[in-house]
A and B are shown apart, each in its own frame.
Chain A
Amino acid sequence: MNTTNDQNEEIDFSKAEAILDEYEGVHGALIPVLQKIQGAYGYLQEPVINLVAERMNMSASEIVGVATFYAQFHLKPRGVHIIKVCCGTACHVKGAPNIVGKFSEVLDVPVGSTTEDKLFTLEEVACIGACSLAPVAMIDEDVHGKLGPDNVPSIVEEVK
C-alpha cells in the first residue's frame, strides 16, 4: 500500500489501526470511524481511506461517497486554523463578500482551500447565528464581529 500521502509525507497508520480495532465487527460504524480518523489525521487521506475500506470490507468508492456527502468530512488537508466567514443574509448585506475577498487576498488562497504553510483554511459558511455582530467571521472557536476589510490583516496576524 502507498505509505505516503499527496504531500509525500510518511503516514503513521497506527492511529487508524487503533480506531479500526475499536470498531472491529461493529455494524454501521463507518461515520464514527471516519470522524475519529479525521480527528486524528486532520483530514481523510487516500491511503487511510483505503485501509478503512480493507478493514471494514467496504469499497473505497462507497466510503468516499459517504465522505463527500457530509460537509463535516474533508478529503483535502486543512490548516491549523479554520477561518469561517459568515455569508448569511445579514452578513451579506453588511458586506461579507468584501470580507471574504480580503481574507482571500491577505492569505493568498481562494475560498475553500488551505494556505501553503498549512496554517489557515478559508471557508464560507451559511450562518453562524451571530447576526447582531454582522459581518462576522469565526477563527477556530473565536468569534470576530463587526468586521471591516481593514481589520482583516491584523486579525490574521494576531492568530498567527
Chain B
Amino acid sequence: MITLKIDNQDVTVPRGTDIFLAAKQNGIYIPGLCHHPKLTQYGGCRLCMVEVTERGRTQHRFSCAQPVSEGMEVKTKTPEIVKYTKSVMEYLLAQHPLDCPTCDKSGECGLQDITHDLKLATGRFKSARMNKPMRRDNPILEFNANRCILCGRCVKMCKDIEGVGAIDFQNRGISTAIGTAFDKPLDCTFCGGCLSVCPTGSWQDRTFKFRARPWELKKTMSICPYCAVGCSIQVNTKNDTVLRITSRDDVGNNEGNLCIKGRFGHDFVHSEKRLKAPLIRKEGVLSPVPWDEAINYIAKRFGEIKNEYGGESIGGIGSEKCTNEDNYVFQKFCRTVLETNNIDNLSNIKSPSLNALIHKSIVHGFTSTTSLQEMEKADTLFFIGTDVSEAHPVIGTLARKAIRLNKADLIIANLRDVHFNSTAQNDIRLQYGFRTQTVLINALIKKIVEGKLIDLKRVEKFTAGINEFKSSLKISTIEKASQITGVPEKTILAAATLLAKPGNCFIVCGKDIEEDPYGHEAIKALMNLCALINKASTPRAGVGKISLIFSRINNNTQGVNDMGVVPEFFPGYLDIDDQANRERFEGSWELKLSDSITKGGGDNIIDLALQGALKGMFVVGENPIVNFPNGKVVKEAFESLEFVVVQDTFLTETAQLADVVLPTTTFAEKNGTYTNMAMEVQRLRTAIPPVGEARQDWQIFCEIAQKMGAEFSYASPKEILDEIVNTVPIFSGMNYGLMNRRGFNWVTEHRLKAKRYRFDIFKPKPVEKKKRGYPFVLLTGPSLNHLGSFSRNSEALVSVSPECVAEINGIDARKLNIKSGDTVSVESIHDSMKIKAKVSNKLPEGVIFVPEDYEWVHVNALRDNVYTKVKLSKV
C-alpha cells in the first residue's frame, strides 16, 4: 500500500494505482473523459492534469497515466491546473456541436458535466462545425462523429473486452475519426459496449432514442433474463415502461459488460404479442375470460382428474426462466396439492444424469468458485464442448480479461471450430471428431499421468484408486487417440502441458457435452482430469485450484433444479425417497406427503404422457414442443392429454395446444432470485407492475391451490424465500439483504470439506454406425442473438438477426452443389425443414449445424434422443 497526499488529504491505495483512480476512490474529483477503470490507460483527453510534488520537484502530470508513489503530494486545483483544464475543454468544445437539447446523452454526459463544473461559457475559438454524416448502418447503434472527442474508450472496449475490434481510429490529424475498416457497415456482436463507455453522445442506442431523458428514468438493479451467466443489469423505466437496459461496472460479476440480448433484447416486455388475459378453450377456440373463471375451471378440472385417476396422473413442467421462489412454490403445489411427483424441467429431461454429476463435482470440491467473476483470475482456461461467444458472451469477456491481465492460456475443445477471439499467448484449439470427446479427455489424462507432468504422489495422497486408474490408461495409446479424435499428437501434448501447469484452472463444460447421448462419460472423464490437476487438494492449498463450471442454458436452469422441480429430489438435492428428508419437508409444510411422492420408474414425463399414464399437464414458462428434442413426439404427447394448462408470457406453440392459458409476468415485473451456472443466487427486483392482467407465477399457484381447498398462501417472494432458507440446508443463511451487490453462492457459502475422490474407471461405449440414407449428423447449438420466446418477441433482436441459417462444410457443399444463400432441405426420419445454407469451414465433414434458439425454426422437430441422422438436398 502506498500513502500519498491529494489536496492535503492523506490517501492510501494499492501500489500501481494511478493518481486519477486514487483520487476518485477517495472522493476527490479530477475531470477526465478517456479514463475508464476497466480499460487500459490511454491519456488521450488531456483533462486530468494535476500538480505532483515528488522528492522536492514539482511537475505537471496527467493523473490517469501517473502511478502513485510513497510521499507524493498531489494538488488538483491550483490556478494553473484549472486554467490548463479549461483551455483543453475549450479545444474539445470548439468542434463539439453543442446540440445538447436534442442529444439523448444530455444529463448523463461526461463532457456536459465537466463543462458545467468548470463554469465554461463562450469559448475563445470560433470553429466551423464538422457536419459529418450520421453513421446509421444497423438497426441498433448509430454513431454521430460530430460529437466524438476521440477518447478511444469505445475502440478499447470493442477490441480488448469484447474481442471484436470492429472499430478503430481511422485517418490522421484533423480528419481522425472512429470508424470501421473501409467504412463498411458495423459488423460486430452488438454488445453495446461502445455505448456504455462513451462519455459523449456519439454512440446512441436507436431502440431508446428520443424516448426519455436520463433524469426521468427510474433505475432498478436486476438480473438479465437470458443466459445462465446472470449478468447484473439496471432496468431503466419511465411511466412503468421499460425503455432501456444499462449496467453498473461495480455490481455483479459482469463488470458492466453485457451482450446484445441483455442490453437490447428487453422490448419483449411490452410486446404487442404478450398474453393480456387468461384464455380458456371454448368450442375449440382459446377465448379470453376473467381470472376467477380460469382459476375455478383449472381447480375443478385438476380436482376431477385427481379424483378419477389419482394425483400422479397430472404432470408438471417447471420453468428455467421463472424465479427460484416461483419454482419452489410450483413443486410444493404439485407435490402437496396435486399430489403428484411427476414434475420435471426440460434441462433435466434433456440431460438426466447432469444433476447427479454436478453434485458429485461439488462434493469433491471441483466446483468451488464463489462467482463467475473469479474467472478473471484464471491462469488456464479450458472450454470444452461450449461455444462461449454464442452461448455465454459475457464469459468471453471474463476470459479475455484473464488473458489480458493475467496472461492466461486458453484451450478450446469442440466438435466445431468455434469462434473465439483471443490474444492468448498459448491459444490451443482441439477440434475433435464426432463422439470422440471422451477419447480426447482420456488422451489428455494419459499424457499428464504418463508424461509425469504433475506430482502423482501428491495426487495419490488425496484420492483413491489411482493405481487401477493408471493401469486402465495403458489400454490405448496417444497415437491411437490422435487417430480417433483427429487431433494431432503434438496438440494433445501442448494442451496437457498447459492443463498441468500450476495456477488457477477454469474448465467450462458446455452443452455439446452435457446434452450428448454419451455426455456423462465425458463428464466422468473430465472429473478424473480435475482430480489429477486439482491443486487445492495438495498441501499447499490456495496455491491454485480447479473450477469446473457446467454450462446452463437459461437464466434459472440451475435454480429450477435447485428448487427440486425434478422427480428425484426435494429442493436442495435432498433424496425424495429418504425418510428423514420427507419428514423435514412434512414438518415445514405441516402436512403428510402422499405415498405417491416417490421417484417412480425413471421414465420422464414426456414418456409417461406418451404411455398414457398422464391425463393432465401443468406447464410453466416453457415451450417444450419447440424447445425439446423430438418436438413431434412431444406434440403427440400433449395432444393425448385430457387437460393442459400453460402459464406463459406469450402464446407459444405449446400454449396454442392448451385448454387454459394463464398470462404471467416477465423479469421486469418479478421480484425474487435467479441462480446462475456458478451456483450464485442473485436478486432481481420489480421494475414495473405486471403488464395487462398478468399475475405473478407464485400467486397463480397459490390461488389454484386455495380453490382446490388447500391452505396455501404467501404474501410475497420474501416469505417464500424465508421458507426455503429455513427448510433447505444448502440455502441456510441466505437473505435478500445480503444480495445487494453480490449473489449468495450456495456451494462456497458452506465451506464443505471436499470428499476424497475415487477415480472413475469406465470403458467408453463404441461409436455407433450411421443410418443408411441419412449421411449427415445434425448438430444444434446456441445463438448469440436469440434465446427462446423472449428474443423471438424482441423487435431489436429480430431486426439484427432475422433469419436462421444452417451451416455446412465446404467439401459437403461442393459435393451437393450448395452455395451460401441457397435454400436446402434437411430431412430426418421424424420431420423435414427448409432452411438457408451457409458454407462454413468451421464444421467437420458430414455435420450440419443449425442454431436451435430461433424459436420459430423447428429444428428440434427433426431431432431424436440420440445423434440425429439427416439427409440434405438443395431445393
A30 within 8 A of B: no
Residues of A with C-beta under 8 A to B166:
59, 61
- Tell me how far the C-beta of A47 lies from the nearest C-beta in chain B, rounded to whole angstroms: 11
Contact with A along B442-462 (1 / 0, CB 8 A): 000000000000000000000
Contact with A along B144-181 (1 / 0, CB 8 A): 00000000000000010000111111111000000111
Binds B, one of A62-70, A87-95, A120-128: A62-70
Determine which of A46, A60, A62, A69 lies in contact with B171 in the assembled complex, contact meaning CB atoms within 8 Å.
A69
A34 within 8 A of B: no
Q: Are B172 and A68 within 8 A (Cβ)?
A: yes
Given A46-B182, A49-B181; A62-B168 close (CB under 8 Å): yes
B423 within 8 A of A: yes
A40 within 8 A of B: no
Residues of A with C-beta under 8 A to B159:
59, 62
List A residues 56-85 near B (Cβ within 8 Å).
57-65, 68-70, 75
Measured CA separation A74–B172 after assembly (Å): 14
Given A46-B182, A59-B159; A64-B423 close (CB under 8 Å): no
List B residues 235-286 near A (Cβ within 8 Å).
none
Measured CA separation A68–B180 after assembly (Å): 12
Residues of A with C-beta under 8 A to B168:
59, 61-62, 64-65
- Tell me how far the C-beta of B578 lies from the nearest C-beta in chain A, rounded to whole angstroms: 54
Q: Are B165 and A69 within 8 A (Cβ)?
A: no
Q: Are A61 and B172 within 8 A (Cβ)?
A: no
Measured CA separation A70–B172 after assembly (Å): 8
Q: Are B180 and A69 within 8 A (Cβ)?
A: no
Residues of B with C-beta under 8 A to A57:
421, 423
Determine which of B167, B421, B423 lies in contact with A61 in the assembled complex, contact meaning CB atoms within 8 Å.
B167
Measured CA separation A75–B181 after assembly (Å): 11
Q: Are B181 and A64 within 8 A (Cβ)?
A: yes
Determine which of B164, B169, B423 lies in contact with A65 in the assembled complex, contact meaning CB atoms within 8 Å.
B169
Give the dominant DSSP class at B's interface: loop
Residues of A with C-beta under 8 A to B179:
61
- Tell me how far the C-beta of B422 lies from the nearest C-beta in chain A, rounded to whole angstroms: 8
Measured CA separation A75–B170 after assembly (Å): 12
Q: Are A58 and B182 within 8 A (Cβ)?
A: no
Determine which of B167, B172, B181 lies in contact with A63 in the assembled complex, contact meaning CB atoms within 8 Å.
B181
Measured CA separation A61–B180 after assembly (Å): 5
Measured CA separation A46–B180 after assembly (Å): 12
Residues of A with C-beta under 8 A to B169:
65, 69
Measured CA separation A69–B102 after assembly (Å): 33
Contact with A along B850-868 (1 / 0, CB 8 A): 0000000000000000000
Residues of B with C-beta under 8 A to A59:
159, 164-166, 168, 181
Q: Are A64 and B165 within 8 A (Cβ)?
A: no
Measured CA separation A15–B401 after assembly (Å): 36
Please name the residue on chain B nearest to A53 by beta carbon: B181
Q: Are B172 and A64 within 8 A (Cβ)?
A: no
Measured CA separation A99–B113 after assembly (Å): 51
Please name the residue on chain B nearest to A75 by beta carbon: B182
Most chain-B CB neighbours within 10 Å: which of A46, A61, A63, A64? A61
20 further A-B pairs in the complex, CB-CB below 8 A; given A59-B181, A60-B181, A69-B172 = A46-B182, A49-B182, A53-B181, A57-B421, A59-B165, A59-B166, A59-B168, A60-B182, A61-B165, A61-B166, A61-B167, A61-B168, A61-B170, A61-B181, A62-B159, A64-B168, A64-B170, A64-B182, A65-B169, A68-B171
4 A-B pairs with least C-beta separation: A59-B165, A60-B181, A65-B168, A64-B181
